[in-house]
Chains A and B, each alone.
Chain A
Amino acid sequence: MSHLLTALKVAGHSFAENYRSRFFALFLVFAGVLIYSSLLAGVMAVDEEARVITDFGLALMELITLAYALMASASAITREMETKTIYLVLSRPVSRPAYLAGRAAALYAVLASMLAVMALIHLSLLWVRGLAPAPMYLKAVAFIWCKLAVITSAALFISLFSTSAVSTVVIAAILWTLGHFTAEARFLASRSTGAAAVLLSTASLVIPDLQLFNARDLASSVPAPAGPAFLAAYLLLWLVVPYLFSLLLFRKKEF
């Protein structure tokens, strides 16, 4: 059986497990908060209602899926190790690279489906209120997924050496926050000297630049800071490199 097929089987099962466990509760929270906040927005933003609802909704979608991504990726492998379900998988003809790839792919798919359903709820709400979505709406949702996929890969890697799921979530959340200031780190590095310059340059290399996936920033920047090919390559790099580092740790891990 090919590694790809095995990875797909692991991904399919892992996706179903995610879907059954925590999926719908988060949707309900999101839908409730969104509907409530849109009513508030309608009152507070008289002329800017569409923009406020769109921005507010996208920000909520990002935060809710981020919370889910961090929790799910922090526990995706460690929980299997704690409950020993991993014994029944890795004692079979399942290679460790295929297992890791399957678990990661399932998380990417879960996040994509969460975002898709949330976007549908959000767009339905805009439609009910008679408001048109912003032209960059779908691009913004896709970019949120890109950011989440990057942080998920990083969190999966962190979870393999972290002492607990909580510490994985904290480290990944710090990485997420710093990832929105990578451009500033580069700018400061160019203005600094000595150890500070080295530190900032290193940080800007090892921390993903998540601002690259900010649709509104990209739309308002002339010329655009990065083209689609560069963004795709950057995304791929930040999915593959943490995966390879994870594999280094996971390859000889004992259970």
Chain B
Amino acid sequence: MTGREDAVLTLSEVHKSYRAPGLFGTAVIPALRGVSFELVRGEVAGLLGLNGAGKTTIMKLATGLLFPGSGSISVFGMPPSDMRAKKRVGYLPELPYFYPSSTAAESLRYYAGLSGLGGAELDRRVSEVIEKVGLSPHARKKASEFSKGMMQRLGIAQAVVHDPDLLILDEPVSGLDPLAIHDIRVLISELNGSGKTVFLSSHSISELEKLSGRVFIMVQGALVRTVERREWESSSGGLEGIFVNTVKGGGPGGA
């Protein structure tokens, strides 16, 4: 990796394995195999891969929820566990879950507070993001009463409430109805328009195609191809064709 000045997220030769204890010893399951890439300020980059390709692992490594086996990760030039880096990151996990007895507003206030907001600024940001994600009529509802779509909107709200510079969104439109997908797509575009870097994973090729400037294709824990927007726009099969050919190319080293 070159370590550009405007680098937001840098992964350099990152390896990660999971341990699965069994009856006759512990099995080591490789999740990432020497992944390297760099995100620069203001871009929207997507992660594309089949189930188990390592997309969520990369996102958890970038947010300090997992630790790499080897290699290095930096967020704004700092380790992901550095509090200064974390303050600048907003994370939406896949299928976010909230404290069932807290209302949407209470949850957001809590997360905004943990991100360092307080006083009038906290109140203003909470009101703003509730409005932005379309949850104003449901702000006083408990999370236990929320539908999957409302949970996802609340998930996006908690990720942006502290106005982070880097948004890491794991399957942001998973299982949503078309209207919710549209709203979230517009929101992501707006956030990117205001200078935020967005890093998202999705099974939906069309979503990544619409939102991303670059897409990283993961196969069995390896980053096998980086595709620029102009490539899929000039390709007859689009991003889907490139993805299918890459995956069928035989995994790491085969594409």
Chain A positions within 8 Å of B, measured between CB atoms, are 1, 6, 9-10, 13, 16-17, 20-21, 83-85, 87-95, 252, 254-255
Contact = CB atoms under 8 A, between A and B. Distances in A.
A255 B60 contact: yes
Given A10-B114, A84-B97, A90 B158 contact: no
Given A92-B111, A254-B65, A17 B101 contact: yes
The 8 A-B pairs of least Cβ separation, nearest first, read A91-B63, A20-B101, A93-B83, A91-B91, A93-B86, A255-B65, A87-B93, A93-B87
A76 B36 CA distance: 37
Given A20-B101, A21-B101, A88-B96, A6 B67 contact: no
B-side interface size class: 20 to 34
Contacts of A254: 60, 65-67
Contacts of A93: 83-84, 86-87, 114-116
A85 B65 contact: no
Given A91-B64, A92-B86, A254-B65, A13 B110 contact: yes
Nearest to B110: A13
A43 B89 CA distance: 66
A87 B91 contact: yes
Interface in B125-143: none
A202 B65 CA distance: 37
B31 to A, nearest CB: 11
- The residue among B60, B110, B115 with the most chain A CB atoms within 10 A of its own CB is B110
Given A9-B114, A91-B64, A93-B83, 4 more contacts: A9-B113, A89-B114, A91-B65, A254-B65
Nearest to B66: A254
Is chain A's interface secondary structure helix, strand, loop, or mixed overall?
Answer: helix
A6 B114 contact: yes
A16 B110 CA distance: 11
A85 B98 contact: yes
A21 B102 CA distance: 10
A85 B99 contact: yes
B13 to A, nearest CB: 19
Interface in B89-111: 89, 91, 93, 95-99, 101-102, 110-111
A215 to B, nearest CB: 35
A16 B106 CA distance: 11
Interface of B: 60, 63-67, 83-84, 86-87, 89, 91, 93, 95-99, 101-102, 110-111, 113-116, 158, 162
Contacts of B101: 17, 20-21
B97 A9 contact: no
Contacts of B110: 9, 13
Nearest to B65: A255
A78 to B, nearest CB: 14
Nearest to A94: B114
B102 A17 contact: yes
B115 A92 contact: yes
Contacts of B95: 84
Contact of A95 (B60, B83, B96, B98): B83
A88 B116 contact: no
Contacts of B113: 9
A239 B18 CA distance: 33
8 contacts: A13-B110, A87-B91, A91-B91, A92-B86, A92-B114, A93-B86, A93-B114, A93-B116
A88 B65 contact: no
B103 to A, nearest CB: 11
A255 B111 contact: no
Contacts of A255: 60, 65-66
Given A90-B65, A91-B91, A254-B66, A85 B97 contact: yes
B2 to A, nearest CB: 27
Contact of B93 (A1, A17, A20, A88): A88
Nearest to B94: A84
B76 to A, nearest CB: 13
Contacts of A88: 91, 93, 96, 98, 111, 158
Contacts of A1: 116
Contacts of A90: 64-65
Nearest to B143: A85
Contacts of B158: 88
A52 B116 CA distance: 52
Nearest to A102: B114
Contacts of B67: 252, 254
